[in-house]
Chain A
Amino acid sequence: DAKTTQPNSMESNEEEPVHLPCNHSTISGTDYIHWYRQLPSQGPEYVIHGLTSNVNNRMASLAIAEDRKSSTLILHRATLRDAAVYYCILRDVNSGGGADGLTFGKGTHLIIQP
């Protein structure tokens, strides 16, 4: 899987939007962008994924740059419960039929101030 680069940590205030960046300059045409997050003392949980178009779901939005070399996970109104480590992961659709594992980096530690 292609490599991603994320800031080590970010801080935001409760009830404000949060934009978490991810750079993936070596992304290939068959790589999808997935985001997971890991709350303290829990396993990771899926947040969202996309290919080219921006995506929205109940948890977050994913904005993908036109050249696909970067993306941004957007939490529209952060709560204290959103404090977690956020991982940006690329998945190649041609890799293992989707059954192979995820490649996690160190992610971004998001701190939410009350």
Chain B
Amino acid sequence: NAGVTQTPKFQVLKTGQSMTLQCAQDMNHNSMYWYRQDPGMGLRLIYYSASEGTTDKGEVPNGYNVSRLNKREFSLRLESAAPSQTSVYFCASSGRGWNQPQHFGDGTRLSIL
């Protein structure tokens, strides 16, 4: 039961570097999400994809881009990393409908120096 798989688990970047966080789900879910969690805080939504081929901004989209590659995969890209983007990033997926629970991955811990 893989569920939602995120890679990498840890990453250290220098300011200005770029990188892509990968997320894949094997539950045939339509919707996928990217959140960030700063220390002592709840999660904040960066971007989401209601279905394959669509993406929408969440609460904190600045500095990020996303790609819904196919139904399974949803990637998050930092084009020019900044120290303020140091955080733990979580990917999630859910089935269609408001009452469907979201299933989360274990997160990517990203540090930007």
Contact = CB atoms under 8 A, between A and B. Distances in A.
Q: Does A associate with B in a complex?
A: yes
A43 B89 CA distance: 9
Nearest to B35: A101
B48 A43 contact: no
Contacts, number: 81
A102 B99 contact: no
Q: Which interface residue of B30, B99, B106 has the most chain A CB atoms within 10 A?
A: B99
Nearest to B50: A99
Interface in B31-55: 31, 33, 35, 40-45, 48, 50-51
Interface residues on B, range: 20 to 34
A102 B98 contact: no
B99 A98 contact: yes
B77 interface: no
A99 B59 CA distance: 14
A99 B51 contact: yes
A93 B90 CA distance: 24
